[in-house]
Amino acid sequence: MPVRIDEIVTETEDKMLKTFKFVFLNKEDEERFQHKAGQFAELSVTGKGEVPIGIASSPTEKGYVKFTVNKTGLVTRYMHNMKVGDIMGIRGPLGNWYPWETLEGKNVVIIGGGFAFSTLRASIVYMLANRDKFKEIHVIYGSRSPGLLLYRDELAAWEAAGDIGMHITVDGTDDPDWKYNIGFVPTITEKKAPPADPDTYAIVCGPPAMIRFTQPVLDNLGYAHDNIINSLEKRMKCGIGICGRCNIGDKYVCKDGPVFTLNALNHMPGEK
């Protein structure tokens, strides 16, 4: 599906992350692109290739899609030099999504770190647009420093609106005006996460170290492994489960994932 770059926002002070807002060239494509928060898509740059990126906009935001892209490989590096008005492609939506059918009517705590926050942003915007369908919502989001937080304006707005519990944190800062938490995500989770309950679900998405250390915290709090939802990352090419590289056991992360409950992951070979 061909798209035009409509807006580019540099998100972080190290300029490694930019959010691209795309509009579809064809109206039919826009209607066909029906995604749910948690899914991803392949962004295509002719001459360079494709790259799988989580969709940062919520299905409730109409008329465009947003992706936050970290400058790493061949395609993303090129994208960082593209301009508003340039033409590229999107293939998707791909993969599964956070289990919204299950989450409705429940408490949700979102635990995110670093630049893995994009599909979580989609989720938050989606939940806010359907606020009455959910009970308590908490967001614990951390990065290394204030300048590396994504979507800072929106974070502030959500905090101000007050209908969700925002717990923003940084690993450390020398900014005297920093008014939020200081500490690693697992520590803040320990302090701020709501108590475990069959009706409380945690969505965890972030760098491997954060996930590794958050896990025991959630265990201590008593979260059942069916109530912990992870989103995984792999090298991907096809995005539809046929090129063979992103498997864990007999599951393909691109098609059967990227979202898995911890319980499901426990029953898969340890190749994350």
Partner 1 sequence: MIGYIDKIREVSRKLLTEEKVDMVIGYRKGSLPMMTEPCFVKRPEDVDTLVWDSNCRINLAAYLMDRKEKIGIIAKGCDSRNIINHLVENKIKREQLVIIGAPCKGMIDKKTVTQQFGQEIDEYQETEDQITVKGGGVEKTFQKVDVLQENCAICNHRNPVEYDELVGDLVEEQVDVDRYEDIRRIEAMDIDEKWNFFEDILSTCIRCYACRNACPLCYCPTCFVDESKPQWVGKGNDPADTRTFHFLRAFHCAGRCTDCGACERACPMDIPVRLFTKKLGKDCLELYGWEAGLNPDQRPPLDTFKPDDPEVGIK
Partner 2 sequence: MKVIKIDKNQWAEGLAKLEGSYRMFGPVAVQGKFPEFRELEKGDVPNLDVPNTHLSAKSVVYPQSEVMFEYSLDEHIEDHHLLREIEKDYSPRAVFGIRPCDAAANLLVKRNFDSKEYRDPYWADSFESCVFIGHACENPGGTCFCTSVGFGPFNEDGLDLLLVNSGKGGFLAKVITDKGAVLAKSAGWKTEGDAASIESLKKQAEAKMSSKVNTDQLSKKDATALFDAPFWEDIGFACLNCGTCTYSCPTCWCFDIQDEVKNKSGVRMRNWDSCMYPLFTLEGSGHNPRPQKHQRVRQRFMHKLKYYVDKYQAGVQCVGCGRCVKLCPVNIDIRTVCEKMNSYQPA
Binding site for partner 2 (CB under 8 A): 2, 44, 46-51, 70, 72-73, 76, 86-89, 208, 233-235, 237-238, 240-247, 249-250, 255, 267-272
Q: How far is the CB of 120 from partner 2 (least distance, A)?
A: 18
* Distance from the first to the final alpha carbon of the chain: 31
Nearest one of 112, 110, 12, 24 to 69, comparing CA atoms = 12
Q: Which is nearer to partner 2, 137 or 150 (CB)?
A: 150
Calpha distance 49→174 (Å, rounded): 40
Omega before 258 within 30 of 0, i.e. cis: yes
If binding is defined by CB under 8 A, does position 243 make contact with partner 1? Answer: no
Q: Which is nearer to partner 2, 29 or 163 (CB)?
A: 29
Choice from 2, 63, 73, 269 touching partner 1 (CB under 8 A): 73
If binding is defined by CB under 8 A, does position 77 make contact with partner 1? Answer: yes
Calpha distance 39→100 (Å, rounded): 12
Q: How far is the CB of 260 from partner 1 (least distance, A)?
A: 29
Calpha distance 217→159 (Å, rounded): 24
Q: Which amino acid is at 120?
A: L
- Picked from partner 1, partner 2, none, the partner binding residue 77 (CB below 5 to 8 A depending on kind) is partner 1
In this structure, the number of other CB atoms found within 10 A of the CB of residue 114 comes to: 21
If binding is defined by CB under 8 A, does position 25 make contact with partner 1? Answer: no
- Contact between residue 120 and residue 143 where contact means Cβ atoms under 8 Å apart: no
Nearest one of 105, 93, 92 to 134, comparing CA atoms = 105
Q: How far is the CB of 124 from partner 2 (least distance, A)?
A: 24
- Picked from partner 2, partner 1, none, the partner binding residue 244 (CB below 5 to 8 A depending on kind) is partner 2
Q: How far is the CB of 46 from partner 1 (least distance, A)?
A: 15
Omega before 194 within 30 of 0, i.e. cis: no
Q: Which is nearer to partner 1, 77 or 131 (CB)?
A: 77
Return residues touching partner 1 (CB under 8 A): 73-74, 77
